[in-house]
């Protein structure tokens, strides 16, 4: 998943049918006047089929909530994309024995947004990435 400015280069260089290029993020609204944001429609126009949502850096630095991540996922799934949905706890949460609670809350927000639709869940990849292990 290269940065947005390198996506088109990665797409053009990808000659493998097995390798999928993913975007690192997407905006939770559709096309519109969202300066600096990238909509699902834009990613699809580029030929992308996969997007990472809820990465720990988005949550920590940008303040992205579980609910916002879930809304982004729903929007991408509704448009036919595959969502790589990130979950994970911080070191403080781990030390407080809250690993399960944090990850369940992240997944519950996703479940609340997309419901029980087997069609949508078939296009969700859960990426467990403990925040404390990054670096």
Catalytic residue among 29, 41, 93, 129: 129
Ordered alpha helix ranges (H), 1-130: 7-13, 40-45, 56-61, 66-78, 91-95, 99-114, 118-121
CA atoms of 84 and 17, how far apart (whole Å):
19
> Active-site residue 129, yes or no?
yes
Is 7 in contact with 45 (CB distance < 8 Å)? no
Task: Pick the catalytic residue from 37, 55, 57, 122.
Answer: 55
Active site residue 55: yes
Cβ-based neighbour number of residue 83 at 10 Å: 29
Phi-psi region of 102 (alpha: psi -120 to 50; beta: other; left: phi over 0): alpha
Q: Is the dihedral of CA 75, 78, 83, 88 positive or negative?
A: positive
Catalytic sites, residue numbers: 55, 129
């Amino acid at each position: 998943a290269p940065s947005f400015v390198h996506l088109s280069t990665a797409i053009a260089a990808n000659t493998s049918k097995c390798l999928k290029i993913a975007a690192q993020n997407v905006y939770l609204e559709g096309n519109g006047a969202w300066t600096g944001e990238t909509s699902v429609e834009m990613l699809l126009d580029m030929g992308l089929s996969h997007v990472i949502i809820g990465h720990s850096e988005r949550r920590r630095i940008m303040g992205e909530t579980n609910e916002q991540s879930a809304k982004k996922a729903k929007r991408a799934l509704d448009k036919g994309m595959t969502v790589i949905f990130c979950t994970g706890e911080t070191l403080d949460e781990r030390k407080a024995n809250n690993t399960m609670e944090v990850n369940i809350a992240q997944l519950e927000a996703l479940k609340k947004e997309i419901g029980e639709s087997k069609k949508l869940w078939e296009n969700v990849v859960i990426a467990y990435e403990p925040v404390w292990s990054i670096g």
